[in-house]
Chain A
Amino acid sequence: MSHKSARYLPLVVTVGQVVIFPYYIIWLKQVSLTFTLFAWFFASFSFAAAWGYRIYQTKKNKDHSYLFIIYATMGSVYILIGYIKNSYEYLPYVVLPLQVILGLLQGYFRAWHSEQDTYHLHAVHHYLIVGFMMIGFSFIKIISPVVFITIFGFLLLVCGFWEFTRRGKLSVSKKV
């Protein structure tokens, strides 16, 4: 693994998050049953993202961002979602904390990413990649959104592991 390849991890994560979003929405709508609950779940995600964003922004030692933990935890949450059996009675009570965790991690990750000098380049690339990927996915028949969510979860775990093994050696340059 080269130093350069590690620079693409945030791009992989960003693209993955956008691509998985429609599938995640389908799953979330299924478990919410009502639009009200669906909207509440989204609101909790959003508030938690704001919190995560500020946690990173106010962090004093930004050299230790623990990104591998962020990736691994995100991956674990997506994998957990893939393994949840649909039992509507209690699912909303489980989904709510998961939404908060995902929001918090995403906000933290976004704040970190926005301070990297590759951020703007990644932004352009991710739009293009997502566009092509979604065209590709449009030809795939969805059996269940959780299959994609689980695969993305494992991908994030790999990213986390990769980040873990590279940390220390890796030194992504910051914006001035």
Chain B
Amino acid sequence: MIEHYKLKKGTDTLLYSGSSLGSRNENIRFFFVAALYNEIKTMKIPNMTIKGVTMQRFMELLKKPWFLGSLVVVFVAVVLWNIPIEKRKYGLSQGSLVTDYTGLLPERVERVVKADDRKDLQRIVKEANEDGQKISVAGLQHSQGGHTYYKDGVVLDMRTFNRILEIDERQKTIRVEAGASWEDVQEAIQPHGLALKVTQSQSIFTIGGSLSVNAHGRDIRFGSMAETVKEMTLLTPSGEIKNITRDDPDEWMKYVFGGYGLFGVILDVTLELTENDLYTIHTEKLKTNQYESYFKELLDQRNTAMHYARVSVAPSTFLEEMVVVNYDYTEKQDHKTVLKNEQGVRLSKLALDVGRQGGALEDLFWGTQKQYIGSLDGKEITRNNVMRSESTFMEYTKPGRVEVLQEFFVPVHAYKDYINDLKQVIPANDRNDDFKIHNITVRYAAKEDFTTLNYAKEDMLGLVVLIQHGLEEEEIADATSLIQSWTNLTLEHGGTYYLPYYRYQTKEQFRSSYPGWEEFEEEKLRKDPNNVFQNMFYEYYLK
């Protein structure tokens, strides 16, 4: 029931609508506001109300050129500050063709279905089994190799399937729908003093997406992301909704995690959590040939919870220098510090853009990075905040060019030799080349034999490489050739490469990198005999 209050004084009427369910305080607040309003309305300044004076002054101001000039200056400043960094459109929102983050594999799909009801999803999968329709699963589409769509297929857009279902503070677990982002999870668990065990460096991915690529991040103590999942609800390729635990006899987790969306739809998962510990940041500059022994010692000492490093790609120190960032235990937890938002995005973008010019400017960028990272030394940060670093500044929009990621894993013990040999494969100064490397970040991936397409057959260091190249046929061919050489070198050192990115590699390189591919393919045919779940990744490597 809505109540209307009327106050009348002179000719002024104030209308107030409020719910009768409102508290007594609400009524008191109303009468206070109403009284104040009437007082103000009746204040007379020689034959004119305050409102009239203000309006007249404003109209007079509008006649002044200096005022209009100031308005323009202020407006321009506001617009300049708010020009979006990410200007391009990609993904399911882009017209008739669907792409993923790089936009390299545009494809027409039959339709995109927004997921919000389990029964609807179940019906779509069952119908697909009968009519031969192909289904792909998409989250925030940060994968770069067409994993989230298929020609003429149906795309299940999971972004709306994002509810937090349950938080168990005692057991330190969270049950969450697969379309939720890590950011959603962090916002839910932060007030409970909890944090994720394993996630990526940024929180912009969906839970389902990250598990489908069995992602890894800065944590060096809790193993792989897949191993932090306690339970999962899965919509199988036959259209059944199953609750899966780790001791499931059908071993669904083994194929679904790191299964690139080919074994059904993850509906929700129960993730193990840990305390939102407070860490001290410790940074160091190293020579690349010192890093292998440095890292082994770091792992053994157990003072450090999380870690990453950057390798110089600047011409004068190319693959010679590194900076490392460690997050050391303080034995303290932090329940007060709020989740940080992206900071200094425009400045970081400007710095990266300077680096993108190559040559001396890339040296300058490296110098700036070292200085910035050095300035973090000794500061404290919560676990949750380590897991949500900035990403928007990396946005790059230029017609005819693209920036992609590649990740190469190399055994920890082979790192030193690998980096030395890598100098023979990629040029130190790419200023005048089409193929440019802007950044290499190093992260640890602990040995994992839980999933079938596992990239860490032993303890590995993953080199995440930010690459830019042109989109002309010849330029793509050159980039492909260089990346294939890099992959061969990685394989020679007992390493492998990561599959969520664009498929520059050959089918043979895939098979050498992932000996479990045959088992993966056989199980795919067994669990999904009608090949309902399809994507461009499967078509290229496995079909």
Contact B76 A100 (CB under 8 A): yes
A51 touches B (CB below 8 Å): yes
- Note all chain B residues with C-beta closer than 8 A to A44: 72, 75-76, 79
Q: How far, in whole Å, are A48 and B71 apart by their CA atoms in the complex?
A: 9
Q: How far, in whole Å, are A15 and B397 apart by their CA atoms in the complex?
A: 36
Contact A48 B398 (CB under 8 A): no
- Note all chain B residues with C-beta closer than 8 A to A48: 72
Contact A88 B398 (CB under 8 A): yes
B399 touches A (CB below 8 Å): yes
Q: How far, in whole Å, are A38 and B346 apart by their CA atoms in the complex?
A: 21
A138 touches B (CB below 8 Å): no
- Note all chain B residues with C-beta closer than 8 A to A43: 75, 79
Instruction: Give the total of B residues in contact with A, Cβ under 8 Å.
Output: 22
A22 touches B (CB below 8 Å): no
Given the contacts A43-B75, A44-B72, A33 and B65 also touching, CB distance less than 8 Å: no
**Contact residues of B between 65 and 123, Cβ < 8 Å to A:** 65, 68-69, 71-72, 75-76, 79-80, 82-84, 87-89
B57 touches A (CB below 8 Å): no
Contact B84 A37 (CB under 8 A): yes
Option from B68, B79, B84, B88 in Cβ contact (under 8 Å) with A96: B79
Q: How far, in whole Å, are A50 and B71 apart by their CA atoms in the complex?
A: 10
- Note all chain B residues with C-beta closer than 8 A to A172: none
Given the contacts A43-B75, A54-B63, A92 and B68 also touching, CB distance less than 8 Å: no
A47 touches B (CB below 8 Å): yes
Number of A-B contacts (CB under 8 A): 60
Q: Mark B361-401, 1 if CB is under 8 A from A, else 0.
A: 00000000000000000000000000000000000111100
Q: Mark A89-104, 1 if CB is under 8 A from B, else 0.
A: 1001100110010001
Interface of A is mostly: helix
Best-buried of A89, A92, A100, A104 by chain B (most CB within 10 Å): A89
Closest beta carbon of chain B to A86's beta carbon, Å: 6
Contact A34 B75 (CB under 8 A): no
A55 touches B (CB below 8 Å): yes
Q: How far, in whole Å, are A34 and B79 apart by their CA atoms in the complex?
A: 13
Q: How far, in whole Å, are A50 and B62 apart by their CA atoms in the complex?
A: 9
Closest beta carbon of chain B to A130's beta carbon, Å: 28
Band of interface residues on A: 20 to 34
Contact A54 B68 (CB under 8 A): yes
- Note all chain B residues with C-beta closer than 8 A to A54: 63-65, 68
A58 touches B (CB below 8 Å): yes
Closest beta carbon of chain B to A28's beta carbon, Å: 14
Given the contacts A51-B65, A54-B65, A87-B398, A93 and B83 also touching, CB distance less than 8 Å: yes
Given the contacts A44-B79, A86-B399, A88-B399, A37 and B87 also touching, CB distance less than 8 Å: yes
- Note all chain A residues with C-beta closer than 8 A to B88: 33, 88
With both beta carbons as reference points, the residue of chain B lying nearest to A97 in the complex is identified as: B76
A21 touches B (CB below 8 Å): no
Contact A37 B83 (CB under 8 A): yes
Closest beta carbon of chain B to A40's beta carbon, Å: 5
Best-buried of B72, B89, B397 by chain A (most CB within 10 Å): B72
- Note all chain B residues with C-beta closer than 8 A to A34: 84, 87
- Note all chain A residues with C-beta closer than 8 A to B399: 86, 88
Partner-A contacts on B (CB < 8 A)? 63-65, 68-69, 71-72, 75-76, 79-80, 82-84, 87-89, 353, 396-399
Q: Can you show 12 pairs from A to B with CB atoms below 8 A apart? A: A33-B397, A47-B75, A51-B71, A54-B65, A86-B399, A88-B87, A88-B397, A89-B396, A92-B83, A93-B80, A96-B76, A100-B72
Closest 5 CB pairs of A and B: A51-B68, A33-B87, A54-B65, A88-B397, A92-B83
